[in-house]
Structure 1
Amino acid sequence: MSTTIGKFQGIPTTCISDAMEGLNNLDPTIKPLKESYKFSGRALTVKMPVGDNLAVLKAIGEAKPGDVLVIDAKGDQYRAVAGDFILGMAKTLGVSALVVDGVIRDILGTKELNFPVFCKGTTVAASGKAGVGEINVPISCGGTSVYPGDIIVGDADGVVVIPQQSEEEILQASLNKLKKDEEREANISGNTEALRKYIDSMLSRTSSK
């Protein structure tokens, strides 16, 4: 894992989102199967038609250790993009997480894998394998553009996309936001007088606009 990706792993998605002014968040319906899941890695993108997951298998076969599979499944919630068998393959081959604007199946077996899956839910229906689809192309996932190689970070609050051309700038802004949040917590939390001053300052700032 590169230094940049590793540093993003330690930053809450909320801070990263604030640093990007909320412009690159995936739709909040895409949630982790377990709140404890947290990951960061580079996107290996998958564009698939509804109900045909052969491109997902191709992506798993070509993934490098640490890659995040980001799948454009068109938001379909009837047919699963993968079940516990395919997800187990992804984990074994070093994929760090799977993010999809769709659903998976075999929920109990998938949770036992302890493999970060972020999706819209679960279903019972499988996908077919007609062979249509593409990998490593620009996609839209959860209403957000994702390019191959973008850094993807996910935790209990959701998933954010960091465009690779500005990742260092966004990293610094995210670290600055995290530091400010920690300082605010240390200085204000539990201090009644400081809390009132903070509220007054926020209200006066709003009223002056």
Structure 2
Amino acid sequence: MSRTVVVTDPPRADVEDAAALGRFGTATVHEAQGRRGYLGPQHRPAWPGARIGGTAVTALCWPGDNLMIHVAVEQCREGDVLVVATTSPSTDGLFGELFATALARRGVRGVVLDTGVRDVAELQQMGFPAWSRAVSAQGTVKATPGSVNTPVVLGGQVVHPGDVVVGDDDGVVVVPRGDVAAVLAAAAAREEKEATNRAAFQEGRLGLDVYGMRGKVADLGIEYVTHDEWLRQQ
């Protein structure tokens, strides 16, 4: 497939399912799908407290060039998350407040960038969520063709258009479109289990007992000794 293509009608996950995954949060969704899909610690929120779940519209740009973000805005609709990758590493500020204004008008829930973001104060004031590998005032050009709504790679994860993107203060996780229903069910079960465990901890129980780990500790040969015994063994 040509790199200079715009796919106008990719199938998307259900927008309400995407929002539901967003409410569970990145860590729960990551665990619920077998610890897969996490973009890694390098993708950080531009401002604290943002939380989203939406369907991916992807853009592949050249470093220092945001032409294809302009092209991608037209393909975005309510409930989407714009996901931007570059053809080689870049930390330039490809995205800022004016892009966010245009996307917010279209009902887009946020942006995830494998490059840089700027206008952080304005983004926070707007309440527009953004995750990126860098914050950078470095400007860009609009000159080089790329692609929209083709698979891209961020943080070692392949993101297909229409996949679900979940983001919060813990980072970003991607759920393949075909796995959404199963991950939703697993996330709900995990949240219920965590509520039970939280209540146990509030009552004073220990993780060793709640998680049934005492037998494992013994099997691993971990010994309990008094301070005097430990000193004598040195």
Structure 2 counterpart SS, 1:99: strand
Tell me the residue number matched to 1:195: 206
Q: Which residue of 2 aligns with 1:205?
A: 216
Alignment match, 1:56: 69
Alignment correspondent of 2:59: 46
Pair 1:181–1:196, CA change in 2 (3 A): closer
What is the identity percentage for the equivalent residue pairs of Structure 1 and Structure 2? Answer: 26
How many angstroms does 1:190 deviate by?
4.0
For residues 78-112 of structure 1, the C-alpha deviation after alignment (integer angstroms, 9 at most, x for no partner) is x2111211222111222110001111122222222
Aligned residue in 2 for 1:164 = 177
Q: Structure 1 196/161 Cα, relative in aligned 2: closer, same or farther at 3 Å?
A: closer
Query: 1:98 corresponds to which residue?
Result: 111
Structure 2 spans left out of the alignment, 5+ residues:
1-13, 221-234
TM-score, with structure 2 as normaliser: 0.81
Offset at 1:175? 1.0
The aligned counterpart of 2:191 is 178
User: Is the aligned partner of 1:118 residue 2:124?
Assistant: no
Q: Which of the residues 109, 117, 132 maps onto 2:122?
A: 109
Q: Which residue of 1 aligns with 2:160?
A: 147
1:4 maps to: 17
Normalised to the residue count of structure 1, the TM-score between the two structures is 0.90
Deviates more, 1:100-109 or 1:44-53: 100-109
Higher alpha-carbon Rg: 2
Q: Contact conserved, 2:23 with 2:51, CA < 8 A, in 1?
A: no
Check whether the contact 1:60–1:95 (CA below 8 A) recurs between aligned residues. Answer: no
Q: Measure the CA separation in 1 of the matches of 2:142 and 2:211.
A: 60
For residues 207 and 138 of structure 2, the distance between their equivalents in structure 1, rounded to whole angstroms, comes to 54
**Whole-angstrom CA distance in 1 between matches of 2:217 and 2:85:** 39
For 1:118, the aligned partner's letter is W
AA partner of residue 201 (structure 1) = G
Q: CA deviation at 1:56?
A: 0.5
Cα contact 1:82–1:126 (8 A) shared by 2? no
State whether residues 61 and 146 of structure 2, in contact with CA within 8 Å, keep that contact through their aligned partners in structure 1. Answer: yes
Amino acid paired to 1:150: D
Aligned-partner Cα distance in 1 for 2:68–2:214:
52
> Paired residue for 2:85, among 72, 77, 87?
72
- 1:163-203 CA-to-partner distances (Å, cap 9, x unmatched) read 01111111111111111111100122241xx2165278324
Secondary structure of 2:47's aligned partner:
coil
Letter in 2 for 1:173: A
- What is the deviation of 1:206? 5.7
